[in-house]
Structure 1
Amino acid sequence: MGAAKVRDLFRQANEKAPCIIFIDEIDAIGKRCDTGIGGNDEREQTLNQLLTEMDGFDGRKGVVILAATNRPESLDKALLRPGRFDRRIQMELPDLEGRKAIINVHLKKVKCDKIDMDVVARATAGSSGAELANIVNEAALRAVRMERNKVTTSDLEESVETVIAGAQKKGKVISDEEKKIVSYHEIGHALVAALQSHSAPVHKITIVPRTSGALGYTMQVDKGEQVLMSREDLFNRIATLTGGRAAEEVILGRVTTGASNDIEQATRLARAMVTRYGMSEKYDMMGLETVNNAYLGGDSSLTCSSETAADIDREMLKMIGDAHQKARKLIADHLDIMHEAAAYLLDKETITGEEFMAIVRKYQS
């Protein structure tokens, strides 16, 4: 039935011309054909019929075809030739100005007070248009729950955290000892970030549990849009990720399961530095990994021998170990800041980056 539906679609389009045909998720019918001879499945027939209909386009007919896909690498080569689709437009994640414009579009639907758009746009780096719409919706819901008839900047900031880490679980019972561990863990992240150059400023620290399972988190927000990252930037980011575990080791003398997400992120970052970014002295600019499905999470696969793969693990271990050692030293050298900031966080549960930096400057002046 697929080929018949395509014929019927183009017949109706020609009757209604000028007309636009929009095919969403075109990879469902436009995947590369099998190389085997005599392939006769319905998807191949549908694709062949689509190619046939698009092959004889007359500029005077007034039929325009638009199509969308998240997997352009899987499309059949015949579908990508000039004359079928003449222009390819890549929709990347919005930049700082793009996020401001998208948020403004969605804010038109809700009543809002004066919004600090710069703060919200910087806090949503890496968000898609759909996520930004969800953030505005969450902000509107929060304003209603707080019995206000206008959305404020604080509503949007909280909704960013809700989308990223889940809603607050203030009713979750955590022992005083565990709260103390979480406080030192989060201050460890914040202190390592604050004492390093080439590191995003600390925006907020909280030990309020979230529905995602996080018992607390440290939020960093760049001052502007950062497109290029240096080796030092990435290494410092790994050191910041190890700061929580380092604080537990230095101050409490034991480690907990709270660093599981930090470990995952640090490992992924170190692997990318070695295999994709050419930031390893041993492998120089040799590509050791390829990224598949760049628009669907970006799964990666190694393109090297098993011996090299084992060596990559050793390079990663050294990189993470050096960053961890740096974090431990920074924390051990600034224990007075750690104790005061952790006690302050334990009392307030949530503190801003300005409050934290005031404590840091008090001891560094």
Structure 2
Amino acid sequence: MKPTIRDVANRAGVSVATVSRYLNNSSLIAPVSRDKVRTAIDALNYRPNMMARGLVKQNTETIALVVDYSHEEIYGNEFFLKIQVGLEREFSRHGYYLMLVNIASAGEAPGLIKKIILEGRVDGIVLLNEMAEPSVIHLLNEMEVPFVIAGRGEYKNAAWVDIDNVLGGYVAANKLIGCGLEKIGFITNSFQKRFVKERFEGFQKAMMEAGLEYAETWVAAGLNTYQDQIKFLKECEKPVCDAYVVSDSYIAYHFIKALKNSGYSVPKDVQIVAFDNQLLSEVSEPGITVVDIDVTMLGVHAARFLLDNLYRLDKNYEPQARHELLGVRLIERGSTL
């Protein structure tokens, strides 16, 4: 494996910032430290990435947002648009432009990202969580290019910002528990998504703390369409749950229609709490009580993380792999009492 600037720092017993100063011929480095770094570089046969170093000095003033358009359910909705707005808002305040880099699948990401870096077209990279594959993270760290993940990452050596989805699930379930309800279900289109798993974890925590149990039949996945939901209501045990936590407002909008067309009144018979304060949650009849996640601020905070690391590199400081979870708030509408 090709040695990195961090390997040199560890070998020399100095900080990455000290190695960076050495590579940039800075006078702000003690002779003893200079000798240690030189010895470590020789021992490891380290060759600095001239392109990555050049990016800092050239200042292209462009940040790449790498997106995989095979995930239409993500990039074709308000969630992605709001993240983009937040990123652009913060980057533009500091004189940076956001460039969308479209790929057909996650497998193409390493090659395309490496290409735009070697061409000197960007100063940094923003990845959505779905793009944060091990091969991509390894490439960016190896090329020493600043990046941030908009979404919870599983890597200690990567900066990321995400919504506290566990808290969101907890708040949603507690709203229904506070209404005196006990038979509370959870429905989604898929448990494959990390944020859904986390919201369900919060739901489970609230139920457990309230001393409430739930049957496996009260939890359902694969409810992608109105037809799926009608089928679920026909086949599920009767009576249906008193309430449901729904993983997003798009599913909740169609689920309310399915409930009404199956003879149930919302919220008299069944109460609903969903996630994401999208337009559908407002125009639904009744309006949907939602756990609001400020996705625009997610983009803003991700941009701030990346800008901070760009600044640190420019000043020969070590970039930070910071992590942050953003809070949520409950917006009450007519789908709950």
* TM, length-normalised to structure 2: 0.26
Q: Which has the higher contact order (CA 8 A, sep 6+)?
A: 2
The structure with the largest alpha-carbon Rg is: 1
